[in-house]
Chain A
Amino acid sequence: KNEVEQSPQNLTAQEGEFITINCSYSVGISALHWLQQHPGGGIVSLFMLSSGKKKHGRLIATINIQEKHSSLHITASHPRDSAVYICAAPNTGNQFYFGTGTSLTVIP
């Protein structure tokens, strides 16, 4: 049983398309993190959110605490957005549960 489920696992998009990645979790969490893992392996934090919506450039993250669901949106996708996007949820004790990641490829 996975405490954090992501979909889709793989996503291919044309440059300029609007992209949505979904994350559902079953644990009680203090916040939810969206991470980006570059093709070289490095991990960068995109968002940490506990309610509502956050926006950074072309990236938007939303969370619905009641439904235990979060989405990451990318507007006007670009080939440089190609990466693995990971949803991670810490429980109230700071133990993290990770989704399996969504591998995004944006084609020019």
Chain B
Amino acid sequence: EPEVTQTPSHQVTQMGQEVILRCVPISNHLYFYWYRQILGQKVEFLVSFYNNEISEKSEIFDDQFSVERPDGSNFTLKIRSTKLEDSAMYFCASSDPTGYGELFFGEGSRLTVL
């Protein structure tokens, strides 16, 4: 069964460092998403991406964040200068070409900022 894969599963970084989280969405999906979940809190939307550009982003997704699809398969989330409050689980998801179809989630990347 096709699945969304994320790497790394866990990353520990120092405050101020750049972090790149990687996702490989399901191959025929065209809509891609990043979400985050701070420990003990609800899932929060960060950004949606379609046709090689951001279609929606939340207030959380400020200038420190960027996304790209560098090679047609990977979908990356970059945090330019990490802060303590960026510590969270980051989930990537993709959905089918209709865009409002079922979401398929990766297992998540846990980011710990020290």
A90 CB contacts on chain B under 8 angstroms: 100
| Chain A residues bordering chain B, tally (CB within 8 A) | 25
- A96 engages B105 (CB within 8 Å): no
Question: Which residues of B, 78-114, contact A by the 8 Å Cβ criterion?
Answer: 89, 91, 93, 99-105, 107-108
> Once bound together, how far apart are the Cα atoms of A39 and B43, in whole Å?
14
A44 at interface, CB cutoff 8 A: yes
Question: Which residues of A, 38-95, contact B by the 8 Å Cβ criterion?
Answer: 41-45, 48, 50, 86, 88, 90-91, 93-95
| Chain B residues bordering chain A, tally (CB within 8 A) | 25
- B42 engages A95 (CB within 8 Å): no
Closest Cβ of chain B: how far from A59's Cβ, in Å?
14
Q: Known: A93-B55, A94-B48, A95-B48. Is A45-B103 also a contact (CB below 8 A)? A: yes
Residue numbers of B with Cβ under 8 A of A are: 31, 33, 35, 42-45, 48, 50, 55-58, 89, 91, 93, 99-105, 107-108
Among all A-B residue pairs, the 4 with the closest Cβ atoms: A95-B56, A96-B45, A43-B105, A94-B48
Residue numbers of A with Cβ under 8 A of B are: 30-31, 33, 35, 37, 41-45, 48, 50, 86, 88, 90-91, 93-101
